[in-house]
Amino acid sequence: AQTVTQSQPEMSVQEAETVTLSCTYDTSENNYYLFWYKQPPSRQMILVIRQEAYKQQNATENRFSVNFQKAAKSFSLKISDSQLGDTAMYFCARPDNNAGNMLTFGGGTRLMVKP
Amino acid sequence: DAGITQSPRHKVTETGTPVTLRCHQTENHRYMYWYRQDPGHGLRLIHYSYGVKDTDKGEVSDGYSVSRSKTEDFLLTLESATSSQTSVYFCAISKEGGYGYTFGSGTRLTVV
């Protein structure tokens, strides 16, 4: 089975500072997508950022960026200028192309942004 | 989220009773998924569908069944609810290729 691992169950950061959330995964495929989702207390799953494995350039979305290391199977999320509204659970996920493109999720990282 | 709705949003039921959760989409996407979310486990796949009447099991399918008689509806049934099935259930949809996914708002199910 495909696995996705998030090694940091909880993290905290001061408002306006930068924080990095880690994610590693396994795969035998060469081309695939990777995702970071945010889940605030409302429990809605919100897409933060998406990376295509064949693209060398790291994806960025405003204050959110990734460090994608394909050979190392690492996909970390960097949040710059952290805001109180960034407080949430964050999940790393990747599709399994051999199982209906089902998403496999990591266990999540609970991020607390402190004022 | 736009294009996908789950019902009910909350439900409390007694052990041993049948329960059906509904996922409805208006996007005409081929793939539909049911996940459960428990503390420390992230989201785990229960069942998925790749077309009308085409379904397959996921990682945690024991005690659950699904049906998809129309493109837009994907039903999750707990034939005889147990306390271990207390969880938050999410439905998701996607097109081909694993490019993008849309999640419903979730159903919090409590089995007492």
Per-residue pLDDT reduced to its tens digit, B6-58: 999 999 999 999 999 999 999 999 999 999 999 877 899 999 999 999 999 99
Of A32, A102, A108, the CB nearest to B42: A108
**Alpha-carbon gap, residue B23 to B78, rounded angstroms:** 14
Listed residue (A33, A30, A68) closest to B98, CA to CA? A33
Give Cα A17 distance to the centre of its chain: 18
Of B48, B103, B105, the CB nearest to A100: B48
- Cβ A92 vs Cβ A73: under 8 Å: no
Instruction: Say yes or no to pLDDT of A100 above 90.
Output: no
B98: helix, coil or strand?
A: helix
Task: Give per-residue pLDDT as tens, A35-82.
Answer: 999 999 999 999 999 999 988 899 999 999 999 999 999 999 999 999
Q: Which chain A residues touch B74 with a CB distance below 8 Å?
A: none
Inform me whether the C-beta atom of residue A105 falls under 8 Å from chain B C-beta atoms.
yes
Within an 8 Å CB–CB cutoff, is residue B59 touching chain A?
yes
> Could you tell me if A1 lies within 8 Å of chain B, comparing CB atoms?
yes
| pLDDT number for residue A99 | 77
pLDDT at A56: 83
> Chain A residue closest to B46 (CA)?
A102
Q: Is the CB of B50 less than 8 angstroms away from the CB of A100?
A: yes
Q: Is the pLDDT of residue B112 over 80?
A: yes
Q: Cβ(B19)–Cβ(B36) under 8 Å? A: no
